[in-house]
Amino acid sequence: MYSRIEIKKVNDVVVVGCLDPKLNDEYTIQEWGDQVGAVAETVTKALVIDFSKVQFMSSSALRVLITLQKTTDLNGVPLLLCHLNDDIMEIFKITNLETIFKIRKGVDEAIRSLQYIK
């Protein structure tokens, strides 16, 4: 059903894994954003996005994440990001996005941290 993401559930938490190593061209980002957005609309407890396979992310992909954060906030669903590599994490720090997003090292840590997040 989805070509850009894989989905699994862990204790009612939806974990979306990104399958593309580079989120840098408009077509890929549009498809990826549509697919993640469709999943986000159905989530009721929490959404974790796993970037373990992603090596590069353009500013257009960051815009998708900002929109997704707004959507999950409106729905009262925590959004957590994990497995951001050092280069992507540096972009989040430079743009101050690490203050907007809940970022964890891995999926397990993200799920464990949910008990401390409203």
CATH number at residue 99: 3.30.750.24
Between CA 47 and CA 78 the distance in angstroms is: 6
Within a domain: residue 117? no
**Number of separate domains in the chain:** 1
For the chain, the average pLDDT equals 95
Within a domain: residue 118? no
Half-sphere exposure of residue 58, counting CA atoms within 13 Å on the CB side?
Answer: 13
Nearest to 1 by CA among 35, 26, 27, 28: 35
Confidence class of residue 1 from pLDDT cuts 50, 70 and 90?
A: confident
Q: Are 20 and 53 in contact (CB under 8 A)?
A: yes
Within a domain: residue 54? yes
Within a domain: residue 16? yes
Within a domain: residue 62? yes
Strand-pairing partners, residue 18, are 5
Residue labelled with tokens 């497995």: 83
pLDDT at residue 118 tops 60 = no
Within a domain: residue 12? yes
Question: What is the domain range of residue 25?
Answer: 5-112
Between CA 93 and CA 39 the distance in angstroms is: 27
